[in-house]
Structure 1
């Protein structure tokens, strides 16, 4: 033994370093099954996270450590039999006031973002239908064809609000004023209306405009007499669903009908547009091929004519 060897040299060495030098932890860890390894790693992660939280709390340092931890474990027996284990201890560790406040804040932000996205979508559809209705008719031309309608959106809207007498009354007033959604601007009772009242009237008139009706327009300024057109395809779908499933309520039948009708119209429009683009692409390829033939023939004829002249 070396008399000059310092026996206190490694007293402050970390315990993990000593185990690592002796390869004890590595050997024991590799000898464990796979699910036991994962459990040990999760326990070490929990310990490190708890130590970090304690040090942060004692040091009064504002941090936001977020670690992704699994709240369940899967243990495989005989390679084919899984056993799911729910870690309630980890779930209860996450039930803190800070996590609750963070969850409420995130939910509030998510709700506000969803409302903003919905309002932007409604405004976009409103502008598209009001000022670019010809564009929408061009985009959904095949939807109108396969639904045997001049405007399948109006058919669906009429079916959804067929029981709303107030919307039909607004539509009759709109028909009396030649379907001008801003006819109220010339009426004296709305001369001093607020901006919210104007927005409400615009919304009501555009909502009533989407009804598909047959109206007898009065000539003397009286309200017109309008009736809903109920011979469209969406009503046929509704009758078929109601007869096939008589136990369903009216709301469920209406919801299923609208869903099937929209899927049918949109999917058919998508398929028809793809066929149109495919056909146009092949026609353009054929035309381009004929153009190359004409170009090559013209070059041959031109070169032959030049050689003959020369």
Structure 2
């Protein structure tokens, strides 16, 4: 039986025997091939994003679980969600084998710690969604966590780079990113990691879209908690509400930094009316704006 694709020798020969320019080209080619491997998973990625959105709508949690470089991909995705889409941090958990590193130390033996995996999943509840990632699809920490999460009633979304791997067999939703052998054999932070990062970006971005946190291609639920993001939020309000920046800034202030609410305030609502509209329309900005327009037309 051949080794899994993530462990096979590279098809290009020994990269260290190539010239620097040729080796760099080979590394880039590997990255491009890895991204192409994501294409076959697009239907499952679309379905899984709706599962994630439903989890947030019902007040449940997203739980990212992984080890090694896969854990770093999980960490990057999960940590971005509150700022980008306004997802409550309390709705996101990130469990990485050995814990989240505070320096460059990531001991490999933590990937085999099944007891830690059980501990990481002890608070998972029915209705939660666990996103479990492993390049090989056989990492004991990830496989054990997936089994435990499923037993507790969570939906398990698995991302792995080897088909028919144990992790994928456990999962409710299987995302197989069959990347080719790495340019440096077994170094899954390369192609496999790139494919995982792309898949996670797509999952969380589609989730944000389905939750109504993207409107006309803009991050309408962005948390404006620094000068750059206040400027971005002001621009979003200006673009969508069609008002000068001064009015947009005032609306953002009156809405306590809630960009989506500020768009409605700038469009003619009070802050309370904006909040009521968003609740009535499940946070979807389009129907809220349409309602305001219809009310204005009725008055005229």
TM-score (norm 1): 0.20
Bigger relative contact order, structure 1 or 2 (CA pairs below 8 A, ≥6 apart): 2
Who wins on radius of gyration, i.e. which is larger?
1
Q: TM-score, normalised by structure 2?
A: 0.21
